[in-house]
């Protein structure tokens, strides 16, 4: 119990550090941040506008006061208002977040469904053709960037085979079938690279477990192959898979940003990209805070899962 509390506390500290850093980032910019934010059209900004935005962002007040204000806002999930259309950043994020989570969830599922069985099968048949082909494919899948894979999928499946539209979004409540169909290509683009990593780790850890005594004992007891694989090998081989998953969460979230953009999926990333292009500071920091919180939250979840599967780490 103590272990979980300590992990949770560490996660909270990390979150606080991120909030503080993101808050500070606008003050790190040399020169006047507001003028810089407005300068994308070239030419200098109108002083009245600069003054207005400075008041909007609270930049005219003392820094400590701004910081306290920001923390208060966050405590009530208020991330400020967009500089472009004055809409609430929190409300927009709340609308888009489920779509991003859906994508991450399905991608993770795809990677496990492909990676784990393939990894075990390859390890049980090392050096055979399946093992070799799968290993080469894994190297390829790990190398190809998500947005390239996504773009090529569009080229083949929507442009050439005309099987599905090039992307977009339909609410699940309106057309569940269409919704899942549109979700398939983006989550596959993210999931396949991850599947390659899961495959490699599962294969390697299965190979490590195979020659161990308890596997031999299980075999000596006369257990069937199926039972040995499921109950003796898989359980132990999965621990490193969980670790690797934790390490990949960052790139999973980054991959989501790119893939959502490729497939026009209206999740957090579309908001982030247009925010960055418009230099809409509240939107960008809002989305980054939420994704970072997600990153920390998922890491914590994986840690807990890890602690549950392997009691030895809870020390």
Site residues (vs other proteins, CB under 8 A) = 14, 17-18, 21-22, 25-26, 28-29, 33, 36, 40, 123, 126-127, 132, 135-136, 139-140, 142-148, 151-152, 154-155, 159, 166, 200, 203-204, 207-208, 249-251, 253-254, 257-258, 261-262, 272-273, 275-277, 279, 281, 284-285, 288, 291-292, 295-296
Considering beta carbons, is residue 114 or 209 the nearer one to other proteins? 209
* Residue linked to tokens 């306290």: 68
The two three-digit tokens of residue 16, written as one number: 């606080």
The nearest distance, CB 258 to other proteins, in angstroms, is: 5
Considering beta carbons, is residue 25 or 180 the nearer one to other proteins? 25
The nearest distance, CB 244 to other proteins, in angstroms, is: 12
Contacts with 204 (C-beta within 8 Å, 6 or more apart), sequence order: 123, 240
Considering beta carbons, is residue 170 or 204 the nearer one to other proteins? 204
Distance CA 293, CA 236 (A): 30
Distance CA 142, CA 219 (A): 35
Report which of 74, 65, 57, 69 is spatially closest to residue 18, judged by C-alpha positions: 74
Considering beta carbons, is residue 19 or 183 the nearer one to other proteins? 19
Angle ∠(189,192,193) on CA atoms, nearest 5: 100
Report which of 248, 262, 252, 249 is spatially closest to residue 147, judged by C-alpha positions: 262
The nearest distance, CB 176 to other proteins, in angstroms, is: 28
The nearest distance, CB 174 to other proteins, in angstroms, is: 27
The nearest distance, CB 27 to other proteins, in angstroms, is: 10
The nearest distance, CB 71 to other proteins, in angstroms, is: 17
Answer yes or no: are the C-beta atoms of 286 and 89 closer than 8 Å: yes
Report which of 74, 93, 73, 71 is spatially closest to residue 82, judged by C-alpha positions: 93
Considering beta carbons, is residue 106 or 291 the nearer one to other proteins? 291
Q: How far is CA 279 from the centre of its chain?
A: 23
Helices (H) and strands (E) in the chain, counts: 13, 0
């Amino acid at each position: 119990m103590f272990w979980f509390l300590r992990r949770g506390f560490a996660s909270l500290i990390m979150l606080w550090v991120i909030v503080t850093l993101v808050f500070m980032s606008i003050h790190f910019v040399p020169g006047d941040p507001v003028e810089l934010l407005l300068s994308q059209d070239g030419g200098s900004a109108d002083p009245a506008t600069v003054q207005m935005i400075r008041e909007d962002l609270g930049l005219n007040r003392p820094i400590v006061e701004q910081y306290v204000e920001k923390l208060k806002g966050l405590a009530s999930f208020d991330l400020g208002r967009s500089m472009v259309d004055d809409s609430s950043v929190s409300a927009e994020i709340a609308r888009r977040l489920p779509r991003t989570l859906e994508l991450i969830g399905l991608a993770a599922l795809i990677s496990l469904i492909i990676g784990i069985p393939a990894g075990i099968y390859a390890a049980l048949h090392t050096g055979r053709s399946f093992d070799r082909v799968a290993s080469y494919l894994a190297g390829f899948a790990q190398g190809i960037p998500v947005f390239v894979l996504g773009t090529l999928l569009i080229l083949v499946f929507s442009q050439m085979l005309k099987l599905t539209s090039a992307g977009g979004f339909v609410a699940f409540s309106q057309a569940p079938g269409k919704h899942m169909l549109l979700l398939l290509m983006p989550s596959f683009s993210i999931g396949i690279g991850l599947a390659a990593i899961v495959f490699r780790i599962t294969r390697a850890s299965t190979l490590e477990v195979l020659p161990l005594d308890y596997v031999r004992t299980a075999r000596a007891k006369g257990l069937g192959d199926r039972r040995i694989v499921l109950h003796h090998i898989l359980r132990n081989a999965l621990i490193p898979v969980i670790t690797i998953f934790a390490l990949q969460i960052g790139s999973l979230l980054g991959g989501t940003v790119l893939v959502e953009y490729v497939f026009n999926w209206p999740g957090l990333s579309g908001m982030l990209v247009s925010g960055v292009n418009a230099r809409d500071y509240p939107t960008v920091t809002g989305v980054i805070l939420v994704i970072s919180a997600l990153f920390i939250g998922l890491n914590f979840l994986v840690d807990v899962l890890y602690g549950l599967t392997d009691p030895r780490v809870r020390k």
